[in-house]
């Protein structure tokens, strides 16, 4: 006897998950993961705090021109990933939506790995971002203290550089800022 067809997840399914969990829809499946770890939260908070002043607000002589958000829901076709950070160039930013999600793909996303999200972030979300022409992707792994910088070329992710531990880096698309990776880690 054939297995019954699995029902595709819908946005309303997100309302049924426990408050201490995060939900995303990938490939029609509701993916539920625990809230991020303290190391994950630190990396996201510090990185957002470093990027917003110069790139969103033009402070300190920064270029401005970006809208950067923490954990936005992004509707990409039937998928609803929630990147840890996402940025849109202001001319592409769709404005604040009436719904909870943004329906324009970001220009940059950052995924911060936790032990329970490595497979999802790499194998499931990276292809979604590529299909929807997100131009830049950062993968941060607080456990091994690395930043991987990817650029989308011809529909495929090209690894531009991998930097680790206390390196200082100027990473696409935010090359105007020298980022001290050591500030992202908690020892």
Q: Is residue 146 part of a domain?
A: yes
Q: Is residue 171 part of a domain?
A: yes
pLDDT of the residue at 143: 93
d(CA 48, CA 70): 7
Return the residue matching tokens 């971002």: 129
Q: Is residue 166 part of a domain?
A: yes
Q: Which CATH number characterizes residue 54's domain? A: 3.90.1570.10
**82 near 109, Cβ under 8 Å?**
no
Assessment of whether the complete model's pTM goes beyond 0.85: yes
pLDDT of the residue at 1: 52
Domain count for the chain: 1
DSSP letter for each residue of 19-31: TTEEEEEETTEEE
How far is CA 5 from each of CA 13, 27, 111, 138, 180, rounded to the nearest angstrom?
Answer: 17, 14, 31, 35, 49
Q: Is residue 22 part of a domain?
A: no
Q: Is 187 exposed, middle or buried (0-12, 13-18, 19+ CB in 10 A)?
A: exposed
Q: Is residue 24 part of a domain?
A: no
Q: What is the CA radius of gyration of the chain?
A: 17
In terms of residue numbers, what domain contains 133? 36-184
Q: Is residue 17 part of a domain?
A: no
pLDDT of the residue at 92: 95
Q: Is residue 110 part of a domain?
A: yes
Q: Is residue 14 part of a domain?
A: no
Residue-level pLDDT, tens digit, the chain, 187 residues? 555 667 899 999 999 999 889 999 999 999 999 888 899 999 999 999 999 999 999 999 899 999 999 999 999 999 999 999 999 999 999 999 999 999 999 999 999 999 888 999 999 999 999 999 999 999 999 999 999 999 999 999 999 999 999 999 999 999 999 999 999 998 7
Contacting residues for 184 by C-beta, under 8 A, at least 6 apart: 42, 43, 46, 47, 140, 142, 145, 147
């Amino acid at each position: 006897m054939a297995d019954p067809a699995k029902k595709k997840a819908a946005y309303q399914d997100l309302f049924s998950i426990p408050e201490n969990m995060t939900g995303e829809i990938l490939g029609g499946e509701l993916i539920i993961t625990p809230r991020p770890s303290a190391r994950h939260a630190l990396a996201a908070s510090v990185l957002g705090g470093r990027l917003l002043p110069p790139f969103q607000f033009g402070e300190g002589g920064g270029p401005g021109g970006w809208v950067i958000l923490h954990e936005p829901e992004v509707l990409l076709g039937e998928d609803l990933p929630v990147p840890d950070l996402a940025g849109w160039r202001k001319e592409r930013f769709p404005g604040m939506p009436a719904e909870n999600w943004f329906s324009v793909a970001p220009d940059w996303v950052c995924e911060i790995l936790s032990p329970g999200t490595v497979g999802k972030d790499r194998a499931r979300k990276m292809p979604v971002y590529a299909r929807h022409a997100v131009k830049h992707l950062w993968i941060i792994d607080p456990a091994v203290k690395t930043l991987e910088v990817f650029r989308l070329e011809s529909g495929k992710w090209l690894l531009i550089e991998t930097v680790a531990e206390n390196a200082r880096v100027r990473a696409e698309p935010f090359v105007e800022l020298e980022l001290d990776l050591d500030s992202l880690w908690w020892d």
